[in-house]
Structure 1
Amino acid sequence: MTAAHGYRTPARLLHWSIAAAVVLMIPAGLVMTQDGLPRSLGDGLFLFHKNMGVLLIPLIVWRILYRLMHPPPPLPPQIPAWQRAAAGASHLLLYALLVVMPLSGFIRVRAGGFPIELLDRLGLGPWLAKSPTLAARAEALHYVAAMLLIAVLAVHVAAALHHALIRHDGVWRRIWPPWRARD
């Protein structure tokens, strides 16, 4: 595989930065709501989860805009049409979920009347009035989207590992490592 077949360095860095944040946020989100958790741990996980979500929003927007301006390199020709279609659909779903997750989390927190410390420190108001109904709907959407995100990520990672460890077809090398990309 030549360098021309790989993602550009900014796309790779955005991919892996967002991936690392999401991999940290998923367990934090799952654990922080558990009964019997020490309050200090639960509070710390909530702080991390909320504020990391806020930090992810501009990265996700940047990643989507970058992808629109710089389409991904073509898949190797030996990839079957059904896998191409599945890859396209899964990437579209991942991007949609990466938008839905922080927005539904933001709405849940703000409509629930809770702070988002990073935004509050920057002097950015709540932007939403307190609404238990809206908060409950956003919480339900956030939960369903989180479960779907976990499932789609599991398939995404399994497919990447399949290409890297079994097929050895160059798909994995297109996105990793970030310092070997074409600029």
Structure 2
Amino acid sequence: MADRLPRYRPPARWFHWTVAVVVLLMIPAGLIMTREGLARPVQDALYLFHKNMGVLLVPVILARIAYRLTHKPPPLPASIPGWQRGAARLSHALLYILLVVMPISGFIRVRAGGFPIELLDRLGVGPWLAKSERVADIAQGIHAVGAVTLIAVLAIHVAAAAQHALIRRDGVWGRMWPVRGG
């Protein structure tokens, strides 16, 4: 049955795995960079990585959303129960929302906090926001709640993918795997 399931198109798989790898690198960087007692050069390098990867990821996320809106994904197999279909729709919607909220809230937090975003600064992009600790604090709160929510939804997403790959072996995992035979 797994061989007969329609797969996601190559651009969808490329967007998925590019965003997945970058986000999975940014999460530990974001968690570690804010820890007290971290050596300043390490902290600076992690902030630099986290902020600038966020900038690079935004166009990929926007292109991914545009692609998703214009290319319907392959249908799930009929064997997937309705509640799992609903859970998949909800988790995917949350992931897309969080992929937009996180860079926006991060950008606002950094710029309203008066900090640089080196890549944008090198490109001549102005801060767009006046310095405001109140706005920076609100954005930081949104970013923190978004981070916890993103980690939780990703954990559920990965667990569901693992369940399809290792337990059910129903071909759902292979639809998004970047190479044949996944």
Local SS of the residue matching 2:131: coil
Q: For residue 131 of structure 1, what is the aligned residue in structure 2?
A: 132
Shift of 1:180: 3.9
User: Is the contact made by 2:3 and 2:171 (CA closer than 8 Å) also made in structure 1?
Assistant: no
Q: For residue 65 of structure 1, what is the aligned residue in structure 2?
A: 66
Give the whole-Å Cα distance in 1 for the aligned partners of 2:180 and 2:169. 17
Shift of 1:179: 4.2
Matches of residues 31-42 of structure 1 in structure 2 within 5 Å? 31-42=32-43
Q: CA RMSD in A?
A: 1.2
1:3-38 deviation per Cα after TM superposition (whole angstroms, max 9, x unaligned): 761100000011000000000000000000111100
User: Is the contact made by 2:7 and 2:175 (CA closer than 8 Å) also made in structure 1?
Assistant: yes
Q: For residue 10 of structure 2, what is the aligned residue in structure 1?
A: 9
TM-score normalised by the chain length of structure 2: 0.96
TM-score normalised by the chain length of structure 1: 0.96
Matches of residues 52-131 of structure 1 in structure 2 within 5 Å? 52-131=53-132
Give the whole-Å Cα distance in 2 for the aligned partners of 1:179 and 1:122. 36
Going from structure 1 to structure 2, the CA distance change for 1:3 and 1:59 (only over 3 Å counts) comes to farther
Q: Which runs of 5+ in 1 are unaligned?
A: none
Q: Which runs of 5+ in 2 are unaligned?
A: none
User: Is the contact made by 1:11 and 1:66 (CA closer than 8 Å) also made in structure 2?
Assistant: yes
Give the whole-Å Cα distance in 1 for the aligned partners of 2:9 and 2:179. 9
Q: Report how many residues are paired.
A: 180
Q: For residue 31 of structure 2, what is the aligned residue in structure 1?
A: 30
Shift of 1:58: 0.6
Q: Which amino acid aligns with 2:88?
A: A
Local SS of the residue matching 2:36: coil
Local SS of the residue matching 1:5: coil
Give the whole-Å Cα distance in 2 for the aligned partners of 1:25 and 1:71. 28
Local SS of the residue matching 1:75: coil
Q: For residue 148 of structure 1, what is the aligned residue in structure 2?
A: 149
Residue identity over aligned pairs, in percent, reads: 67
Give the whole-Å Cα distance in 2 for the aligned partners of 1:3 and 1:124. 48
Give the whole-Å Cα distance in 1 for the aligned partners of 2:46 and 2:94. 26
